[in-house]
Amino acid sequence: MREYLLVLFCTAAVTYLLTGPVRKFAIMAGAMPAVRARDVHREPTPRLGGIAMFGGLCAGLLVASQLHGLGKVFSDSSDIRALLSGVGIMWVLGVLDDKWGVDALVKLGGQMIAAGVMVYQGITVISIPVPGVGPVALSPTLGMVITVALVVVMVNAVNFIDGLDGLAGGMVCIAGIAFFLYSYRLWYVYQISEAAPSVLFSALLIGMCLGFLPHNLHPARIFMGDSGSMMLGLMLAVSAVSVTGRVDPDLITAQAGSQTAATHILVPTYIPLLLPLAVIALPLADLVLAVVRRSWAGRSPFAADKKHLHHRLLEIGHSHSRAVLIMYFWAALIAFGTVGISVTNTGRAVVLACAGLCLVGLVVLLLPWFRPKAPSAVQAFVPPRYRRGGRAAAGTEAAAASQAPAQAEQGAMAELSARDQELLGSLGTGAHAVGDRRQS
């Protein structure tokens, strides 16, 4: 665990430190598209944040290659080379799109090429594990099709939710944590070495997101752009593929001691790719709804609009930050709920807890005007909007601030008018004196 945490922190640190220089480079390169009608931000913001994330990924892999415990991941499989090949293609495609713009069909073709390169180098779904039956082997063609489809769906799902500051990075980070916990348990608890690459990929993914989020939270100073969102989607798909299709359910049955226990452990994998779908349930639902909505209206499925789930949260009255937090909440509930069911023996407690949290989430979702107030003891440590009377105080301060320039202007006008009256009076006195002299 310590080696994975070291890789995670190194990846996060390098990503964080590179984001500032990358932002300056993006501004110099002109990678600041004008604000579009469907955008939420108010002013042009530099993109190309994926450059910093790619640098963090390379740094994390370099550190991992020098660690004794992770060296086997590099020597026993070709997953690292396949990952770098696919990520490199996706990253170059994203950089070109952030700077000059790339047609949607060209991007789709590039995504399929990146997925195909990884499949050629060994990252593919070999079988689908089914408890009691064992691994159901897939033909090379079918495995390739499933892998390419999963990569394309993941990439576009993450790309679709990249519409609010910090939304895509945070949700992918939550998904990465869920994958990390599940894969780590398979490797160290059940001694399944095939899950080792997924643990490393998940740690790298978490580090990239954590390092970039401080620069991307509202108000964002830089966007990850397609160079970042497509790369995150591809790494999420690779984490799913590297753990799904390489786990033999019979091994877990022998370790667990019973078929029932093995069934609960394998919930995220024996239902076809349930865990990958669970961790991106919200982005996937948004993707499906967008395709159906645009196709029903006779438009291209890739035609952008302003009707995504996060846009609807803003429309019903939620603030930018609250809309992001709500999306975080539901993503974490679905992802960790799925992992929790695989950990417990029956899953009943997890289901009841998830049901209670769903109720809480629905209440918050349907009450956009609700603002929680912090206790009096901690009000000095929270933002003003969460303090008691914070809204009224903020309104008073804003009104005073807005009235101050007007009062200053009125004072200046009054002073100016007094001077003008004095000047006019002196001119009038002079005119009367001249008139008197002429009369005399």
Q: Binding site for Mg(2+): which residues?
A: 159, 226
Binding-site annotation: residue ranges = 159, 226
Q: What is the sign of the dihedral through the CA atoms of 300, 151, 81 and 12?
A: positive
- Six-digit token pair at 430? 């002079």
- Helices 104-120 and 79-99 cross at an angle (nearest 10°) of 170
Q: How far apart are CA 160 and CA 167, in angstroms?
A: 11
Q: Is 164 helix (H, G, I), strand (E, B) or coil?
A: coil
Q: What is the sign of the dihedral through the CA atoms of 320, 324, 327 and 329?
A: negative
CA 152 vs CA 114, 137, 157, 398: distances in Å: 9, 22, 8, 48
- Would you say 174 and 150 are in contact if contact means Cβ atoms under 8 Å apart? no
- Tell me the Ramachandran region of residue 131: left when phi exceeds 0, alpha when psi lies from -120 to 50, beta otherwise: beta
Angle at the Cα of 170 (from 153 to 189), degrees rounded to 5? 80
- Would you say 262 and 206 are in contact if contact means Cβ atoms under 8 Å apart? no
Q: How far apart are CA 73 and CA 70, in angstroms?
A: 6
- Six-digit token pair at 252? 């877990």
User: Of all helices (H) and strands (E), which one includes residue 136?
Assistant: strand 134-137
- Name 335's Cβ contacts closer than 8 Å, sequence gap at least 6: 174, 175, 177, 178, 278, 279, 281
Q: Is 339 helix (H, G, I), strand (E, B) or coil?
A: helix
Q: How far apart are the first and last CA of the chain?
A: 110
Q: How far apart are CA 93 and CA 76, in angstroms?
A: 30
- Name 327's Cβ contacts closer than 8 Å, sequence gap at least 6: 161, 164, 167, 170, 171, 282, 309, 310, 313
Number of neighbours of residue 428 by Cβ within 10 angstroms: 10
Distance of CA 64 to the CA centre of its chain: 24
- Would you say 192 and 251 are in contact if contact means Cβ atoms under 8 Å apart? yes
Closest CA to 205 of 227, 238, 183: 238
